[in-house]
Structure 1
Amino acid sequence: MATSVTLQDITVDNFESFMDMELPEHQRDYLDSNAYSIAQSRFYDDFVTRGIYCDGEPAGFLLYDVRAEDVDGLYGIYRFMVDFPQQGKGIGRKAMALLLDELHSKPDVHRIIIYYKPGNAVAQAFYRSFGFRECGIDDNGEMIAEIIPSRLPDQQV
């Protein structure tokens, strides 16, 4: 199990470690690549990237939007992944708890949404365990699930 999980900025010094992470064939249809996400973050000012580190080593990646759908206080998690060799070690659970703490601490947050493919039962169960509730399908065919920060459950990490 993971002992120390942290979220760190993606910088010129570490971005290549995250760009090279790939999901296995059976998971690739669920998520855009980290390289694509890092490129997006350079052109969309509201996008924030974080590297997920476990015991000081790169272990995953996430991207969120501080103004999803151009709405103040609506935070959208667009990418969340743990590198395949690191999956199943509790890293994702600790990283999601850290991310939700980070977003919950924002003074303007009133709603957090996350997107995933409707057929991704593992993601659905994982996000539900944090209190996300499905609220519809977007124009791209992705499931939207939401959580209201005042209703964030306490997570055991």
Structure 2
Amino acid sequence: MTAHVTLQDIDVDNFESFMDMELPEHQRDFLDSNAYSIAQSKFYPDFFTRGIYCDGKPAGFLLYDCKAEDIPGLYGIYRFMVDFPQQGKGIGRKAMALLLEELHAKPDVERIIIYYKPGNAVAQAFYRSFGFRECGIDEQGEMIAEIIPASFS
């Protein structure tokens, strides 16, 4: 049976389901908490949160910026996670494909960047499989990888 994955807005009715999601100990250093990310989205008007749902149930979380580094057309994916009990089921792959499709449809998108810890080999391979190419390390020590929308159309 194929899992049905969707992306939905985080709102007053569902935010608690996503705030409580935690990563296992060995993954916690790779990503800020969902609660922190949801709080950020309330103070940065260009930040958008999306819940990853699998078969109608919360399964992960993502946060993106539609004006990364204050550059119009530059979209930044700052958080992308699948709840630990749901990992390894292909949910992340389907959710990333949906996210890239959603961002590609934005009329002003020119580039999409994603940030991750340089030591996170799983994230590196995952993002590379979608066509992201590493461009360097930012001021916070995170790897930046980018994809040009024309490369995944």
Tell me what 2:3 maps to.
3
Q: Is 1:44–2:39 an aligned residue pair?
A: no
Structure 1 Cα separation of the partners of residues 2 and 29 of structure 2: 26
CA distance in 1, matches of 2:106, 2:85: 32
Cα distance in structure 1, aligned partners of 2:84 and 2:137? 27
1:2/1:143 CA distance change after superposition, 3 Å: farther
Q: Which amino acid aligns with 1:129?
A: S
Q: Aligned with 1:126: secondary structure?
A: helix
Give 1:67's aligned residue: 67
How big is the alpha-carbon RMSD for the aligned residues of Structure 1 and Structure 2? 0.9
Q: What's the counterpart of residue 132 of structure 1?
A: 132
Residue type matched to 1:104 in 2?
Answer: H
Q: 1:43 to 1:126 in 2, by over 3 A?
A: same
User: Aligned pair 1:54/2:54, yes or no?
Assistant: yes
Q: For residue 12 of structure 1, what is the amino acid of its counterpart?
A: V
Q: Matches of 1:80 and 1:113 in 2, distance apart? A: 12
Identify unmatched segments of 5+ residues in structure 1. none
Q: State the SS of the aligned residue for 1:6.
A: strand
Q: Closer, same or farther in 2 for the Cα pair 1:104/1:152, shift >3 Å?
A: same
Counterpart Cα distance in 1 of 2:91 and 2:42 = 26
TM-score by length of 1: 0.96
SS in 1 for 2:107: coil
State the distance in 1 between where 2:66 and 2:81 align: 19
Give distance in 2, aligned partners of 1:60 and 1:145.
21
How far did 1:152 drift?
A: 1.1
**1:54 CA displacement:** 0.0
Tell me the distance in 1 between the aligned counterparts of 2:127 and 2:151: 14
Question: What is the aligned partner in structure 1 of residue 104 from structure 2?
Answer: 104
Query: Could you report, residue by residue, the CA deviation over 1:20-52 in whole angstroms, capped at 9, with x for unpaired residues?
Result: 000000000000000000000000000000000
- Runs of 4 or more above 2 Å deviation: none
Q: How many residues are matched? A: 153
Structure 1: how far apart are the matches of 2:52 and 2:31? 16
The 2-side partners of 1:2 and 1:48 are apart by 28
Runs of at least 5 residues in structure 2 that lack an aligned partner in the other structure: none
Contact 1:63–1:77, Cα closer than 8 Å, also in 2 = yes
| Deviation of the 1:143 alpha carbon | 0.1
Could you state the TM-score of these two structures normalised by the residue count of structure 2? 0.99
Residue 15 and residue 2 in structure 1: after superposition, are their counterparts in 2 closer, same or farther (change >3 A)? Answer: farther
Taking every aligned residue pair, what percent have the same amino acid on both sides? 86
Q: Read off the aligned partner of 2:45 and give its amino acid letter.
A: D
Matched residue, 1:25: 25
